[in-house]
Amino acid sequence: MAKHTEGMLHAEGMLHAYAVIMAGGGGTRLWPLSRQSRPKQMLTLIEERSLFQIAVQRLQALLPPERILVVTSQQQAAELKTHAPELPAENYILEPQPRGTAAAIGLAAAALGARDPQAVMIVLTADHYIGNEAGFHRYLEAAVALAQTGPLVTLGIQPTFAATQYGYIQMGESLGEFGGFVAHKVKRFKEKPNEDEAQAMIAAGDHAWNSGMFIWTIERIMQEFAQQMPDLHATLHKVAAAINTPDYAGVIEHEWPRIAAQTIDYGVMEHAANVAVIPAKELAWNDVGSWTSLFEVLPADTNGNLGLHPHHHDLDSRNSLVHGASNAAERLIVTVGVKDLVVVDTGDVLLICSRERAQDVRKVIEALKEKGLQRYL
């Protein structure tokens, strides 16, 4: 693919940059469309591409496919490969079991370190939406340049409202400009706030949303693992030593179940000494974390409706989303005079949810588990 030759890529500073797309999640917040066996990143909600495909393809102008890696589970890898056949098969890094984001990132870091000791690793998610791809590229270039000066870098998101569904990052002193953007020292990571706390952080003006996108050199992240998560670091050391040997499969199968699951936020970021944040503006970033968030991402008709079903007849509805499974194309969905409603029909499950209650789908999932109805999850 000629357009991916190095000569066309933006900056000399990107020559050692690698994207690592975290695609192991089993999120259920878009239930019943997302399932344990069909997580959010595999869903085709936008432009007939899966969120994972979109995550891969939005890197096209920034990185060649050889420098885009995916960390996922053995169960999900086969399907994900069909979504992004342009990536080399060896770029899919497989976890035998999920052990939290720290271990997943560590495994990718071990793989990258074996390929390129000078690698700068861009940790991305497979299931988020980013409307402004050109802006996204410029922020990543800035973050890579900053990471090469030493800090662990996180891309924050300039808040647009007092969200309670995201973690926040409090920004400290300026570290100067990188690629045209001002970077800050990270003062503190904060858990998802309540409504009042969120309002206070927005009013203070010195907080960004924690997007889960991180940029650092392999050298630096391995130092942090060694210092903060020595058990994981020791495991990664064994795995790294087996890379490109016949022992690799046996080593990882033996070691992985023994890892204590931990997030990168808690395991590394919150206690790391030198952490920087670049607050990104106008990325049109959205974590697609609930059915409501699709209203922000997808174009609605003049009545505010999102019709995602091939066979939908409406009379006078407003601000409602109707999603019917494509395998139920002969099924007719009729809506009459409904408002602010989310309708998701997957064949075996029909969800009808008030738009403002979309976050409570997780409560339904808990209740179904308690009822022994796992087959619907």
Summarize as ranges the residues that interact with a copy of itself (CB under 8 A).
32, 313, 315-316, 330-339, 341, 343, 345, 347-354, 356-358, 360-361, 363-364, 367-368, 371, 373, 376
Shortest Cβ 319–a copy of itself spacing (Å): 13
Q: Which is nearer to a copy of itself, 84 or 364 (CB)?
A: 364
Cα–Cα–Cα angle for 177, 20, 186, nearest 5°? 35
Q: Which is nearer to a copy of itself, 261 or 352 (CB)?
A: 352
Nearest to 29 by CA among 374, 293, 263: 293
Q: Which is nearer to a copy of itself, 115 or 331 (CB)?
A: 331
Shortest Cβ 367–a copy of itself spacing (Å): 7
Q: Judging by DSSP bridges, how do beta strands 306-307 and 321-324 pair with one another? A: parallel
Shortest Cβ 193–a copy of itself spacing (Å): 23
150: part of which helix (H) or strand (E)? none
Q: Which is nearer to a copy of itself, 31 or 139 (CB)?
A: 31
Q: Which is nearer to a copy of itself, 297 or 338 (CB)?
A: 338
Shortest Cβ 311–a copy of itself spacing (Å): 9
Q: Which is nearer to a copy of itself, 43 or 365 (CB)?
A: 365
Shortest Cβ 302–a copy of itself spacing (Å): 18
Question: Is the separation of the CB atoms in 287 and 293 below 8 Å?
Answer: yes
The sign of the CA dihedral 67, 211, 224, 23 is negative
From CA 225, how far away is CA 231, in angstroms rounded? Answer: 9
From CA 305, how far away is CA 315, in angstroms rounded? Answer: 11
Q: Which pairs count as long-range contacts for 328-336, CB under 8 Å and 24+ apart, including other chains?
A: 333/309
Shortest Cβ 166–a copy of itself spacing (Å): 22
Shortest Cβ 376–a copy of itself spacing (Å): 5
Shortest Cβ 340–a copy of itself spacing (Å): 10
Nearest to 63 by CA among 77, 49, 84: 84
Could you say which DSSP state residue 87 is in? Answer: S
From CA 211, how far away is CA 169, in angstroms rounded? Answer: 10
Q: Which two tokens stand for residue 99?
A: 């052990």
Shortest Cβ 29–a copy of itself spacing (Å): 13
Q: Which is nearer to a copy of itself, 256 or 295 (CB)?
A: 295
Q: Which is nearer to a copy of itself, 78 or 329 (CB)?
A: 329
Place of tokens 């996922």: 72
Place of tokens 């050692």: 16
Question: Is the separation of the CB atoms in 239 and 251 below 8 Å?
Answer: yes
Q: Which is nearer to a copy of itself, 131 or 347 (CB)?
A: 347
Question: Is the separation of the CB atoms in 120 and 215 below 8 Å?
Answer: yes
Q: In Å, what is the CA distance from 180 to each residue of 77, 137, 214?
A: 37, 12, 19
Shortest Cβ 314–a copy of itself spacing (Å): 9
Close Cβ partners of 10 (under 8 Å, ≥ 6 residues apart): 61, 62, 137, 141
Question: Is the separation of the CB atoms in 252 and 239 below 8 Å?
Answer: yes
Q: Which is nearer to a copy of itself, 158 or 165 (CB)?
A: 165
